[in-house]
Amino acid sequence: MKRTVDEITGGRRMRRNRRFEWNRRLVRENRLSTDDLIWPVFLCEGKGISEPLGTMPGIERHSVDKIGVQAKRAQELGIPAIAIFANVAMEKRNQTGSEVISPDNIIIQATKAIKDAAPDVGIITDVALDLFTDHGHDGILRDGIIVNDETVETLCKAAVLQADAGADIVSASEMMDGRMGAIRDALNDAGHVDIGTLAYTAKYASGYYGPYREAVGTDGLLKGDKRTYFMDPANSDEALYEAQLDIAEGSDMIMVKPGMPYLDIIYRLKTEFGMPTFAYQVSGEYSMIMAGVEKGFVEEQRVIMESLTCFKRAGADAVLTYFAPRVAEWLNNS
């Protein structure tokens, strides 16, 4: 017996709400706004430099004297916050990453420059050592092992230094155990009770970081991989355990990284903990989209907006994305 469609669906027709844009707008569940954007920027040593990155079409590295202009741009576009990374001069890198606690390092200088130029833009710094070690690892390397507790000591000092310089949120992307609580204590002891901490809670040992490693000059340095401290891409329950610890240790926000291949993790963390949950659309995701755009396989604005809206749908409150200024422009003009 052949039934009509109305007999099959009981008269329910999902397509009614999709007929017109006004109707689609009324039933739209998630919306991307400029408020959701965090812009990661790359610094380089020297003066008067803005150099394009080979592995990330459309992205540049800026010297400290030029970062103020970018910060002002963020402020004008309404981007809430900037996250800072840098390609540190090779001669300043060593086994222990000690430059991270040198009071005038490039991250400290950039923090001050951004605060000066655009006081309304939030600054998110990172305490990981990878920018400062000559082996490219995120922690101190001794006898082939990334030593946890000694690394945490350094992270705490870096956190205080960054907060002193004007960082608003100190993030920790190196996945050492106990670092969020230790950093919280160190900030409090230094009088920085109001400075927030962002935990890279579920940071995976991912291949999607490739272009970033060129951007910060760690691509040729890294010996081995980061699997003894970053999470296994195959794991999901473990992310809940990590989140539970980071939250108990006092983190103000949690993050999932990379982004798009890990939307299920964002969803699980947001659902389970209801914490401010960020996603990091990492360099490899950026470059893959751009490669597709350059080849004409996908439409630039459409796939970028779609990718970011999907983060919102999964439960992310904000997204670190290299597309931030482009997206802010589109959103502001629409």
Check: CB of residue 138 under 8 Å from CB of residue 166: no
H-helix segments, 11-147: 21-27, 64-77, 106-117
Please list every residue from 135 through 164 that binds ligand PBG, using CB under 6 A. Answer: 138
Tokens at 68, concatenated: 């103020």
Figure out which of the listed residues 213, 268, 270, 312 binds ligand PBG, where binding follows CB under 6 A.
Answer: 213
Q: Could you say whether residue 184 binds ligand PBG (CB under 6 A)?
A: no
Q: Could you say whether residue 174 binds ligand PBG (CB under 6 A)?
A: yes
Q: Could you say whether residue 212 binds ligand PBG (CB under 6 A)?
A: yes
**In the complex, which residue's CB is closest to ligand PBG?**
212
Closer Cβ to ligand PBG, 114 or 282, answer by number: 282
Check: CB of residue 197 under 8 Å from CB of residue 126: no
Distance (Å, whole) CA 327 – CA 331: 6
CB of residue 212 vs ligand PBG: minimum separation in angstroms?
3
Please list every residue from 279 through 298 that binds ligand PBG, using CB under 6 A. Answer: 282-283
CB of residue 21 vs ligand PBG: minimum separation in angstroms?
34
Question: Which of 123, 99, 116 has its CA nearest to residue 40?
Answer: 123
Please list every residue from 297 through 326 that binds ligand PBG, using CB under 6 A. Answer: none
| Residue 203 bears catalytic tag | yes
Give how many residues touch ligand PBG by CB under 6 A. Answer: 11
Cα–Cα–Cα angle for 141, 142, 147, nearest 5°? 70
Closer Cβ to ligand PBG, 257 or 312, answer by number: 257
The amino acid at residue 298 is V
Closer Cβ to ligand PBG, 189 or 288, answer by number: 288
Phi then psi dihedrals of residue 109, to 5 deg: -60, -45
CB of residue 158 vs ligand PBG: minimum separation in angstroms?
12
Figure out which of the listed residues 100, 128, 152, 279 binds ligand PBG, where binding follows CB under 6 A.
Answer: 128
Three-state SS for 332? helix
**From 13-21, 93-101, 151-159, 209-217, span contacting ligand PBG (CB under 6 A):** 209-217
H-helix segments, 190-319: 210-215, 237-248, 263-273, 283-294, 300-314
Figure out which of the listed residues 55, 154, 173, 251 binds ligand PBG, where binding follows CB under 6 A.
Answer: 173
Check: CB of residue 111 under 8 Å from CB of residue 162: yes
Look-up of token digits 């109001």: 194
What track of x and - describes contact with ligand PBG for positions 83 through 122 (by CB under 6 A)? ----------------------------------------
Three-state SS for 264? helix
How many angstroms separate the most distant Cα atoms in the chain?
80
CB of residue 128 vs ligand PBG: minimum separation in angstroms?
3
The catalytic position among 203, 226, 270, 312 is 203
Check: CB of residue 49 under 8 Å from CB of residue 66: yes
Distances (CA, A) of 38 to 71, 74, 236, 282: 12, 10, 25, 12
| Residue 115 bears catalytic tag | no
Catalytic residues: 203, 257
For ligand PBG, the binding residues (CB under 6 A) are 128, 130, 138, 173-174, 209, 212-213, 226, 282-283
